[in-house]
Amino acid sequence: DAGVIQSPRHEVTEMGQEVTLRCKPISGHDYLFWYRQTMMRGLELLIYFNNNVPIDDSGMPEDRFSAKMPNASFSTLKIQPSEPRDSAVYFCASRTARGLEQFFGPGTRLTVL
C-alpha cells in the first residue's frame, strides 16, 4: 500500500506568491492532519480533518493560510500571500478512526524568498 503522498517535495517561491501544498492520505484513513516543522517551534499542528470535515483549525497561523479536503483522498494547504517566515517543512499525516498512530508523508520543504 502506498503511504501518505505529498507534493511537491520542494517548493521555492517569492514573497507574495500563492503556494499550494497537496496531500493524498492513505486509503481508508478517516483523519488527516497538517503540521508545520521549524527549528524554532518544532512540530506544530495546523489543522486536522475527520471525514473531510475540518475539526480544529486553531493552529492555522493567520488568514493567509487555508486548508481544504474536498474528498477522502485529497487535501490542500494554501498560503496566500506567502511570506519568508512561512519557510518550513509541511507534513501531512493520516490515520484511521480506530487507530492511533499517525502515518506521515515525506513532507514539503517550502522556501519563501
Partner 1 sequence: AQKVTQAQTEISVVEKEDVTLDCVYETRDTTYYLFWYKQPPSGELVFLIRRNSFDEQNEISGRYSWNFQKSTSSFNFTITASQVVDSAVYFCALSRYSGNTPLVFGKGTRLSVIA
Give the footprint of partner 1 on this chain (CB under 8 A): 33, 42-43, 45, 48, 50, 56, 89, 91, 93, 98, 100-107, 109
Q: How far apart are CA 80 and CA 20, in angstroms?
A: 9
Tell me the backbone φ, ψ of residue 84, rounded to 5 degrees. -55, -35
Neighbours of 32 (CB within 10 A): 29
